[in-house]
Amino acid sequence: MRAIRVHEPGGPEQLRLENIDIPKPGPGQVLVKVAAAGVNFIDIYHRTGLYPLPRPFTPGGEGAGTVEGVGPNVDAVKPGDRVTWVGPPSSYAEYAVVPVNVVLPVPAAVDLRLAAAAMLQGMTAHYLTHSTFPLKSGDTCLVHAAAGGTGRLLVQMAKMLGARVIGTTSTREKANEARGVGADEMILYTEQEFDAEARRLTEGRGVDVVYDSVGKSTWEKSLNSIRPRGMMVTFGNASGAVEPFAPLVLNQKGSLFLTRPKLQDYVSTPDELKWRAGDVLNWLASGKLKMKIDREYPLEQAGQAHDDLAARKTSGKLLLVP
């Protein structure tokens, strides 16, 4: 089968298309013919070595496809089932072996490519809005990259919960896209100081929570945007990792709360995983949640997909399609 392999950390050129044997599922595993794999920033962090993995490896912890075979003592799924997952990297390939405990059924009304696009970012948006800082009616949140893959899902889920959404983005076109999925106010960070605008839009109070996937370049102004005893949620490093800082800063800016969450800790039990994934897939099936697949690439263009994502030239989800 064809698969993308990473032998050394580095740039997109390290994403090499190779022919390797189709893997065999072991105990507690299933073999899936991959219909599509999601492209995410964590894949870039694995490729560069920011989040190191044993090498060589096949990137891609998100995908969807059809079960081809199952390992010993696996009876939760069977060949022919349509499934999706977020789990250990392996999805940038024609076939992937996936632990059965992360495999989820895809409703008949949901296309497999849409399922592949939705899982990681959908469950991320779910835990951020429902658990990390559980939004409620009357809350105001600031969502960075509001027209991006995770951002537009955050906007929609925040509105489901009755919150007011202030978004940031780089262009008027992207701002219109974010408004189209429910953002109440949009700030063009290329033209305005977003912390000053967030304060103005909240009559000087500040927002209750910032959901920040950008990292280094937005860090200080994000803190400046938050009301006293509000929360800073930094969950991504699109512009680079946040530099070390003194905790006293949180005191000086209003006794702020800070968290750096990750999805794995919010789907740590089968019930949590089923709750979050079930909500996302059911909302997709009913049309309550809108996904945008921005671009699809063949496996051999995995490097281009990483380049496009890192350059923040896209709005919506990127997929690799074997």
pTM of the model: 0.91
Burial class for 64, CB neighbours closer than 10 Å (0-12, 13-18, 19+): buried
pLDDT value of residue 311: 85
Show pLDDT as tens, one digit a residue, over the chain (322 residues): 999 999 999 999 999 999 999 999 999 999 999 999 999 989 999 999 989 999 999 999 999 999 999 999 999 999 999 999 999 999 999 999 999 999 999 999 999 999 999 999 999 999 999 999 999 999 999 999 999 889 999 999 999 999 999 999 999 999 999 999 999 999 999 899 999 999 999 999 999 999 999 999 999 999 999 999 999 999 998 888 899 999 999 999 999 999 999 999 999 999 999 999 999 999 999 999 999 899 999 999 999 999 999 887 777 799 999 9
CA pair distance 315, 293, nearest whole angstrom:
8
Q: Which residue has the tokens 């390290």?
A: 14
pLDDT value of residue 314: 74
pLDDT value of residue 312: 73
Distances (CA, A) of 322 to 19, 198, 319: 13, 43, 10
pLDDT value of residue 237: 85
The domains located in the chain, with CATH, are: 2-119+269-320 (3.90.180.10), 136-260 (3.40.50.720)
Distances (CA, A) of 285 to 118, 278, 314: 12, 10, 24
Cβ(139)–Cβ(163) below 8 Å = yes
pLDDT value of residue 315: 73
pLDDT value of residue 305: 96
